[in-house]
Amino acid sequence: MSATRRLFFALEIPAAIQQQILHWRAQQFPQETGRPVAAANLHMTLAFLGEVGSKKQQALTTLAGRIRQPGFALTLDDAGHWPRSRVVWLGTRRAPRGLLQLASLLRAQAERSGCPQGTRPFHPHVTLWRHAQSLVKLPAPGFSWRWEVENFALYESLFEQGRTRYRALERWPLTQ
Of the candidates 17, 66, 69, which has an alpha carbon nearest to the alpha carbon of residue 44? 17
Of the listed 23, 43, 81, 123, which one is catalytic? 43
Q: Please identify, using beta-carbon distances, which residue of 142 and 160 lies nearer to ligand 2AM.
A: 160
Q: Which of 18, 109, 127, 154 binds ligand 2AM (CB under 6 A)?
A: 127
| 138 phi/psi in degrees, rounded to 5 | -80, 150
CB–CB of 126/79 below 8 Å? Answer: no
| Residues 30-59: x where in contact with ligand 2AM by CB under 6 A, - otherwise, as a string | ---------------x--x-----------
Determine, following the binding rule CB under 6 A, whether residue 152 of this chain makes contact with ligand 2AM: no
| 89 phi/psi in degrees, rounded to 5 | -135, 165
Q: Please identify, using beta-carbon distances, which residue of 68 and 123 lies nearer to ligand 2AM.
A: 123
| Residues 3-22: x where in contact with ligand 2AM by CB under 6 A, - otherwise, as a string | -----x--------------
Determine, following the binding rule CB under 6 A, whether residue 157 of this chain makes contact with ligand 2AM: yes
The C-alpha atoms of residue 6 and residue 52 are separated, in whole angstroms, by 6
Asked about 131 being catalytic, the answer comes back as no
Of the listed 23, 81, 123, 125, which one is catalytic? 125
The C-alpha atoms of residue 95 and residue 76 are separated, in whole angstroms, by 9
Determine, following the binding rule CB under 6 A, whether residue 87 of this chain makes contact with ligand 2AM: yes
Q: Please identify, using beta-carbon distances, which residue of 43 and 174 lies nearer to ligand 2AM.
A: 43
At 22 the three-state DSSP class reads helix
Asked about 43 being catalytic, the answer comes back as yes
Of the candidates 166, 159, 48, 150, which has an alpha carbon nearest to the alpha carbon of residue 106? 48
CB of 126 to ligand 2AM, least distance (A): 8
Handedness of CA 60, 152, 106, 169 (dihedral sign): positive
The C-alpha atoms of residue 129 and residue 78 are separated, in whole angstroms, by 15
As annotated, the active-site residues are: 43, 125
Query: Which residues form the interface with ligand 2AM (CB under 6 A)?
Result: 8, 45, 48, 87, 127, 157
